[in-house]
Structure 1
Amino acid sequence: MTVTDALIDDYLDRLARAAAGLPGSRRAELTAEIREHIEVALAEGPDRDEAAVRTLLDRLGDPEDIAREAGAPAPALGGPPARRSVPAFELVTVLLLLLGGIVLPVLGWVVGVVLLWASARWSVRDKLLGTLVFPGGLAVAAWWLFFASGSSTTCDPTGVCETSGTSVEVSGAIVLVGVVGSLAVCAHLIRRARA
């Protein structure tokens, strides 16, 4: 089974679960209609790669919305909405992107990037975000905070002093942007892994 087949099967499984309140024949008919629509759209398109399948499924919309439009009852309002868990592979990937550079300098983050690109759960856009937004994760912010942010003052014998390096305010801003950016990207990846 290819990655694209897995994406389509997962989408159709979600549709079948969302349409569970429909009569069996209507649920089977709805699933067959959507499967046929997907196959026709992919056959007419130039590509059948992962990006093309993800784009098509995004255009179709949430399976839950399709099931509701077909007459499936909405989920009960009494309890909290069901939360989807993040699969272990994707959770390890996000943790390595965020903290891998601290635990295993450089290598930990690189392993996280390799796992990110190996996963079928994220789109190419998500993978580029995870790779390019603050490479190294929190390790870069920690390195900047502890090693690169210092400023030093040197004075010559005549009493003229010069300060070199980065001011505390600039260093703090760089560290803050690095931490917030890394956390935001990881939160985005976790949210997408749940979807």
Structure 2
Amino acid sequence: MTTHTDLHPLARSYLDRLADAARVLPPEDARELVADITDHLAQALPVTAGEAEARTALDRLGTPQELVTAAGGPVPTPAGRARTSYGWLALAMLVGAELLFVIWFVAVPMWLAGLVLLSLSAWSAREKLLGLLVLGTGFPVVLLTTAYASFAAYECTGGAQETVVQADGTATTTTLDATCSSLGAVPPAWLQAVFIALALAYLALQAWTVWRLSRQR
């Protein structure tokens, strides 16, 4: 196994910068990237190489950040442009909107703000899309789920007119009060099972998304 001490000094410095830049990758991917580049430099750049030769070999390889980006890391922010880190704040607001959905005047602005912060974050396009499709849709899904679960049909009786003939032959007409009762609108058992399975699958997908994004940071 090639070690840093077997490499050219400039190669060792390059690998240190690569290891630092690769922290944005999942640990296994970062280790694999550093190991591959270490083996490559051990063959392409002898310890006895001159400084000019070493710099030429490293220039051909590209910068550490470019290698990390090619391995699936986030695209670097252009120089001179402030890097914003709204990603986790955006996801926290999106999930919070789901938990506070019954408080409309809080949940709706929180959900909208989360979408805006997600779009402005320094996360990669893939991470933003994942957050939007899974966590960004959580608030509408919760509302639709609640509306479906609370749906009920009502049956109303009364409201008709009743005529009563008195003993003296006079007739009195009165209007009966309408009485409504909930039927519950309970769906069949198989539909309830499908609905519960879909809800659990969506929650599992959200949990997986948060876990996946946490590995990217």
TM-score range, shorter chain: 0.3 to 0.5
TM-score, with length taken from structure 1: 0.46
User: Does 1 or 2 have the higher relative contact order (CA < 8 Å, sep 6+)?
Assistant: 1
User: Greater CA radius of gyration, 1 or 2?
Assistant: 2
TM-score, with length taken from structure 2: 0.42
